[in-house]
Structure 1
Amino acid sequence: MNLNMQKKARRIQEGQPPRVLDIFSGCGGISLGFHAAGFRIDANVEIDPDAAASHAFNFHPGHPRSAHYAQARDITQTLPHELAEELGLLEDGLALEETIDVIVGGPPCQAYARVGRSKLREIQQHPEAFLHDQRANLFEMYLAYVAAFQPLALLMENVPDIMNQRGQNVAQIMAEALEDSGYTVGYTLLNAAFYGVPQMRERMFLVAYREELGQTVTFPPYTHHVDLPPGYEGSRQVALKSLRRHDLFGAEADHHYIQPPTPDPDLPPAVTAQDALQDLPVIRDHLEGKLKRGARRFEDAEPLPYRLSARQGTYAHQMRHWDGFGERGGIRDHAIRFLPRDYPIFARMQPGDQYPEAKQVAVRLFNEKLREAAQQGKDTSTGSVTWDLLLQATVPPYDDSKFPNKWRKMEPDMPARTLMAHLGKDGYSHIHYDSAQARTISVREAARLQSFPDGFVFKGTMNPAFKQIGNAVPPLLVRPIAQGMLNALQAGVAGYLAGIQREAQPA
């Protein structure tokens, strides 16, 4: 690897941006964080067609190979050299190992898959064999791409549960496999709310550098403070449960795990849902009967004007004026789900209410309608036609003992709870805090809560856009990690090249 590594190091030392390959990229949350930190997004692999189209549109607009960038790819069917050829990375006679400096990505977690240490170590010698192995899981695919491109650094992201996957710590297994391959590795758990994201989202991050660079893995200090609800701390403890604190001789066993920064109550308070959304246009069309059911494309819709100005330094200002992704004449994608039965329930719910409270509100509304119908002389006895019709039109059918967290009305003075991919199916997990609007959040509001700037475009209809956002990694959480990695790379290549020069000098 030495000659290719030297070429990469000299390129970075000359001031050129490190080149990133984002695998399992989604629409580009990690890519955007690295782009904002000064990296260049050269390639990605994504299996979902809408997400692949979004990534291409945002990071390669007008590129001669834009159709290739927008192509959805199954990583299990895409060899590294095939990807490099299709995207033109091998032009100018570059070898595959010269083309990419940093690999990033979050392999989807396959709950049924066990990851074996010996198998992961073998991948370094036979990466393409594993890419053709139908039994291989996506973590093995990630390592196969690392083996093929030989990056100077890499980042892997995943859910905290990856540290306790059926009793095994997959992050530690990956760290050991990478260390065997010549990388210095560390991983930790970080919550997005501590980095200015208006969302409490816990994620595992693993970072690695080629050991020749002489860099240790560190993670950025917090920029904000928030007291996380008990559920988040409980989830963290479950994730850490399989962490091997000490081996038989008292030494640290899972020594690649790095303790997260210590929360500091003197830091600025976390960005709240209201901070993130209050300048966006009010939506009331659904309460006036102007919203209809059906898939909605909104890419070419006329932009809506902002409701409020955004002061310099505020979160809203940051979302409107993100370098390269500033607002495009107003707000687009401000579309909501059609849920007419539930608008009255949303209006009466209190911030923080979940499904049991929503069900109680619905029952009260049902009883009010029954009394009105009885006053009109209708038969409202239990099981009557009127009773049945009003029940179906008013009360959600789910058992509140089985689905207590299915609904939640956001608190305006707190960051939002974790956005999930199933926003594309219902959106009840994020009901807008403003009772006068009585609705779930819009696509653009979900993007704001995930820290995507207003100029970032999501391809497809509303449901795929929600899914892309829910699956993404918050760019504002990634950016400080990427900035730290850029600093480490620049320092590392300087020391590495200086060492080579010293060795070349005659004794």
Structure 2
Amino acid sequence: MSLGFQAAGCDITAAVEFDADAARSHGLNFHGGDPEHGKARDITNTKPADLTRDLGLGDPALAFDIIVGGPPCQAFARVGRSKLREVSDHPEAFRHDKRARLYIEYLDYVEACSPLMVVMENVPDMLNHGGHNIAAEVCEVMSSKGYTCTYTLLNAAFYGVPQMRERMFLVAVRKELLPERITLPEPTHWISLPPGYEGSRSVALKLLNRTFGSSADPYYQPAPQAKRGLPGAVSAEDALGDLPTIDARKMLELGTLKRGARRMSDAMPYPISSRPSRYAALMREWPGFEAKPHLVDHVIRYLPRDYPLFARLNPGDQYPEAYRHAVEMFHEAVEQKNAGGKPLMEGSEEWNALWKSIVPPYDASKFPNKWRKMEADKPARTLLAHLGKDSYTHIHYDSKQARTISVREAARLQSFPDGFRFSGTMNPAFRQIGNAVPPLLAKAVAEALLAQITAALDASTGPMCLTTRRN
């Protein structure tokens, strides 16, 4: 979110980030490695005045124009609008319902900093979480505090990101600036989303068919529709095709790929013959985050059992198909051993060992999307923080490489430029990328909102107390 807003022209002044590696990444990329800006902070014990004092920013009410973030919504699984009002009006309400605490702390920052604009991002389930539309309830609270509010669902693929990522965005702007309506960003790319995305959206929007108080929900705004005349969505191959090839099976044979932590320090040059797509060129040339001659985070997981299976998969195959391929490969291996003159006895120790060396142990009837081989000509499916544990949801489309995606490839699919650095080793880097808002999507949101605020300020003829202290 910070990178997208910076690209739209904002100065990134501060951050409150609990994850230590993500906090260090913030300090590295936005504050030149300043340790104070790279310090992990817990919002439950970091008050606005603490933050501005530590960073030398003075009065919180004068420090920030915009607050962006993604406070967890799980705390509000069963909290209704009346409870949210109680939480908002009574800072000690968390003593009665600790699930509300993080939301209280977020509101503390809004109260103390009086920003012109607030942007929240979260999963679509925030609209139908424990029988409550949390986004609508948050909007009601923010509206009572003097903000014009709206929320919607945006898919990153419509905004130039090579990933079909559906997320909720909630925006609040001071009513003195935008008293009536907030305009959402217009799509720049077109794609026909797979049926699963439409189904998930329908589930998330289910509560909108009910009433909110005595009238229909006044805050929800349908996302602007993409038109077929727009450029096609950025594909996985557009995003990754210019990056160095990593032949996992060959590296395994040569002994250059081993078990253990992947430290992002081995330099790997870009292929001399590669011709970057328009998207890849943007990732290499992003102002302020230009690519170096060598990549240092193009690292992959050590998955020796599965490389032959990855090569066998067809584009779009998920775990049930992968399991069937693996069983076929096992029977082929049995036939090969039997042809060698020493038949394998079913159920024998050698039989079981061979099965274990080829077939993944997961139940094929459960979690069908646990694995997925990407399609070269389509955007990737949603990247999750679970990338920090395994990367099977994003198997490279190139069967010759036969592997899961690298850290840099995950960053490309999320629209992080090649010059953006991730703190820590491979697993923390994957987690940070999976948790992130795609920078290009954040940039689209920021540009649309800033244009409206600028227009409102330009059109103002009377005194505007909100802006007298702003740059």
TM-score (norm 1): 0.87
- Residue 394 (structure 1) aligned with residue 358 (structure 2): yes
> What per-residue deviation string (whole Å, max 9, x for no partner) do you get for residues 129-160 of structure 1?
86998553423322221112111111011100
Structure-2 residue corresponding to 1:195: 159
Q: What is the 5 A alignment of 1:168-317?
A: 168-215=132-179, 216-244=181-209, 251=215, 253-289=216-252, 290-298=256-264, 300-306=265-271, 308-310=273-275, 314-317=278-281
SS of structure 1 residue aligned to 2:35: helix
Answer whether contact 1:286 1:338 (CA < 8 A) is retained.
Answer: no
Q: Which of these residues, 50, 73, 86, is aligned with residue 41 of structure 2?
A: 73
Structure-2 residue corresponding to 1:487: 451
Q: What is the 5 A alignment of 1:429-440?
A: 429-440=393-404
Structure-1 residue corresponding to 2:319: 355
Answer whether contact 2:156 2:164 (CA < 8 A) is retained.
Answer: yes
Partners of 2:186 and 2:321 in 1: CA distance:
38
Q: Using the TM superposition, give the Cα deviation of residue 288 of structure 1 relative to its aligned residue in structure 2, in angstroms.
A: 3.4
Partners of 1:191 and 1:450 in 2: CA distance:
12
Structure-1 residue corresponding to 2:469: none
SS of structure 2 residue aligned to 1:468: helix
Q: Using the TM superposition, give the Cα deviation of residue 330 of structure 1 relative to its aligned residue in structure 2, in angstroms.
A: 2.8
Q: 1:213 to 1:127 in 2, by over 3 A?
A: farther
Partners of 1:424 and 1:254 in 2: CA distance:
37
> What per-residue deviation string (whole Å, max 9, x for no partner) do you get for residues 237-267 of structure 1?
0000011455697x5x211101111221111
Partners of 1:67 and 1:336 in 2: CA distance:
29
> What per-residue deviation string (whole Å, max 9, x for no partner) do you get for residues 81-121 of structure 1?
1111111111xxxx221111100001123166433434444
> What per-residue deviation string (whole Å, max 9, x for no partner) do you get for residues 288-316 of structure 1?
32200100111x332422354445x7000
Q: Percent identity?
A: 57
Partners of 1:286 and 1:172 in 2: CA distance:
50
Answer whether contact 1:192 1:474 (CA < 8 A) is retained.
Answer: yes
- Residue 419 (structure 1) aligned with residue 419 (structure 2): no
Q: 1:39 to 1:385 in 2, by over 3 A?
A: same
Answer whether contact 2:70 2:120 (CA < 8 A) is retained.
Answer: yes
Partners of 1:175 and 1:191 in 2: CA distance:
21
Partners of 2:368 and 2:423 in 1: CA distance:
33
Partners of 1:462 and 1:135 in 2: CA distance:
32
AA of the residue aligned to 2:147 = Y
Q: 1:346 to 1:307 in 2, by over 3 A?
A: farther
SS of structure 2 residue aligned to 1:340: coil
Moved more, 153-162 or 484-493: 484-493
SS of structure 1 residue aligned to 2:295: coil
Answer whether contact 1:356 1:400 (CA < 8 A) is retained.
Answer: yes
SS of structure 1 residue aligned to 2:306: helix
Q: Using the TM superposition, give the Cα deviation of residue 126 of structure 1 relative to its aligned residue in structure 2, in angstroms.
A: 5.3
Structure-2 residue corresponding to 1:101: 65
Partners of 1:477 and 1:367 in 2: CA distance:
46
Partners of 2:201 and 2:142 in 1: CA distance:
24
Q: Which of these residues, 3, 20, 28, is aligned with residue 57 of structure 1?
A: 28
Answer whether contact 1:109 1:162 (CA < 8 A) is retained.
Answer: yes
Partners of 1:478 and 1:228 in 2: CA distance:
20
AA of the residue aligned to 2:45 = Q
Partners of 2:92 and 2:36 in 1: CA distance:
22
SS of structure 1 residue aligned to 2:154: strand
SS of structure 2 residue aligned to 1:399: coil
Q: Using the TM superposition, give the Cα deviation of residue 225 of structure 1 relative to its aligned residue in structure 2, in angstroms.
A: 0.5
Partners of 2:464 and 2:133 in 1: CA distance:
37
Aligned residues: 461
Partners of 1:132 and 1:147 in 2: CA distance:
21
Answer whether contact 1:117 1:173 (CA < 8 A) is retained.
Answer: yes
Answer whether contact 1:76 1:131 (CA < 8 A) is retained.
Answer: no
Q: Using the TM superposition, give the Cα deviation of residue 448 of structure 1 relative to its aligned residue in structure 2, in angstroms.
A: 0.3
- Residue 333 (structure 1) aligned with residue 304 (structure 2): no
AA of the residue aligned to 1:257 = Y
Answer whether contact 1:326 1:453 (CA < 8 A) is retained.
Answer: yes
Structure-2 residue corresponding to 1:163: 127
> What per-residue deviation string (whole Å, max 9, x for no partner) do you get for residues 432-484 of structure 1?
00000000000000000000000000110101111110010100111011011
SS of structure 1 residue aligned to 2:451: helix
Q: Using the TM superposition, give the Cα deviation of residue 174 of structure 1 relative to its aligned residue in structure 2, in angstroms.
A: 0.4
The two structures, once aligned, show a CA RMSD in angstroms of 2.1
Answer whether contact 2:244 2:268 (CA < 8 A) is retained.
Answer: no
AA of the residue aligned to 2:27 = A
